[in-house]
Structure 1
Amino acid sequence: MPSALITGATAGIGAAFARRLAADGFSLVLVARDEERLTSAAESLRLRYGVEVEVLAADLTSDEGLGRVEARLRQGIDLLVNNAGFGHPGAALDVSVADELRMLKLHCEAVLRLTMAVLPGMRKRDRGAVINVASVAAFFNRGTYSASKAWVVNYSESTAAELAGTRVRVMALCPGFVRTEFHERASMDTSGIPGFLWLSADDVVREAMRDLAVGRRVSVPDLRYKVIVGAGKLVPRSLAALVSQRLGRR
């Protein structure tokens, strides 16, 4: 039975990955901070899909939490989904340095450390995959969130290139606006986002798994966002940043 470890597994895209992979017959390791929610999610998945589900409560913005997840990954995992993340409300310059550093710890350091923890075993077995959840924001300019997700895309592509010729894959997943708890937790006003731009987490995961299967290094789910990313590369970066800021937040 193949195995998968998913961070940020109790809601949104992480929970959608858990459902999809359980349906595909993966045994799961679910990682999040809230042990009660983890336990509830695990029980639901066991009952519905009949798969083994392990829970690992860990705060990935702490060295202790990262260390425990690294240790679990070194025991052997076939698919790692680095999904945990968060956003800040308001303008970038209004966010404290401490909060910005916490974001970088989760979006960059955690992705790096967990990927490096799992890859040696995958390379030895010559099979396995890592999906690093980034964002369409990676292709636009909007503060530390955008910059951190751009790092995830660059790092994923670079690592995938180094693994060329093996059966180990690394892919950055770059969804647009997805109906999850993400914006609510960040106290973001989403009233200015047009309804047609919203995606479902299950649709995002379905397209991600398809792109992983065909060997894509960057997955941008949904034709609408493929067009947006393509158009963003053609217009001046200052204009793209202005549109992004006005669309994403009031």
Structure 2
Amino acid sequence: MGTALVTGASAGLGKEFAWQLATAGHDVVLVARDEERLQRLAAQLRAYAGVHAEVIAADLGVRADVERVAERLRQPTRPVGLLVNNAGFALHQSFSTGSLEDEEHALDVMVRAVMVLSHAAAGAMRERGRGAILNVSSVAALMASGTYSAAKAWVRTFTEGLAAELRGTGVTATALCPGLTHTEFHQRAGFGRLAPEVAWLDARGVVSAALADVRRGSVISTPSVRYTLASGLLRLLPRRVVRAASRLA
């Protein structure tokens, strides 16, 4: 079934990607900072799904660590057929008064690492004539919620450009743009209750929809009808209205 490499695999959507890919018969390469959690997950996947699970402990805000993961993607003898660039986090701070060091780290993880790993994967996949890259963006890419929106807007636009470049090569690129999803993401960022329950998505459904869109070769994957409609509305509204709404979110 091939091998999938998932970043941010120790929790949230990344962990769910690892489980769904493993239970579908894919070997997995699990990437995150927390080696203990990765090793525990790898053992569970081997026992439950009977797949090969490899662990790479790496901080994608550190260039040397990113390069180690990129080298794994380039290895011709152990090809990776699907790259899931999922690692990311939100900063619960004001840009103008918050830590610039934290902002730079977030930029490295959510922008630079996505670029470097996508470059490594696309090059190797093009040589083989097959493969897929799934970059996790967000509906926030269409909003104006500080540097998080800016990073996710970069991921979305970058992935669209990459998909156009790869057309006809046998390699696809998909940007996943979910809305609010029940994971550890918001708790880790220190956010309280952001929206009523009806606004939240289930991680299992988000990942299932994303993988189905990858199989179809879709460029943009927006799980759920309500967030598809919300995304359409955000593209149509005047940007001053979007900015005002983003301040209230």
For the criterion TM > 0.5, the same-fold answer is: yes
- 1:208-228 superposed Cα distances (whole Å, 9 cap, x missing partner): 111112221111111010111
Determine the structure 1 residue equivalent to 2:86.
Answer: 83
Q: TM-score, normalised by structure 1?
A: 0.96
Amino acid at match of 2:114: V
Q: Does 1:109 align with 2:118?
A: no
Determine the structure 1 residue equivalent to 2:216.
Answer: 214
Determine the structure 1 residue equivalent to 2:155.
Answer: 152
Aligned-partner Cα distance in 1 for 2:83–2:163: 14
Q: Does 1:70 align with 2:73?
A: no
Alignment of 1:1-250 (within 5 A): 1-75=1-75, 76-189=79-192, 191-247=193-249
Aligned pair count reads 246
Aligned-partner Cα distance in 2 for 1:192–1:151: 24
Aligned-partner Cα distance in 1 for 2:178–2:96: 25
Amino acid at match of 1:53: A
Percent identity of equivalent pairs:
47
Q: Which runs of 5+ in 2 are unaligned?
A: none
Aligned-partner Cα distance in 2 for 1:147–1:127: 30
Aligned-partner Cα distance in 2 for 1:204–1:172: 13
Report how far residue 244 of structure 1 moved.
2.8
Partner secondary structure for residue 217 of structure 2: coil
Runs of 4+ residues over 6 Å off in structure 1: none
Amino acid at match of 2:172: R
Amino acid at match of 2:234: G
Q: TM-score, normalised by structure 2?
A: 0.96
Amino acid at match of 1:233: R
Aligned-partner Cα distance in 2 for 1:106–1:23: 28
Partner secondary structure for residue 172 of structure 1: strand
- 1:21-75 superposed Cα distances (whole Å, 9 cap, x missing partner): 0011100000000010000011111111110000000000001111110111111
Any conservation in 2 of the 1:45–1:53 contact (CA below 8 Å)? yes
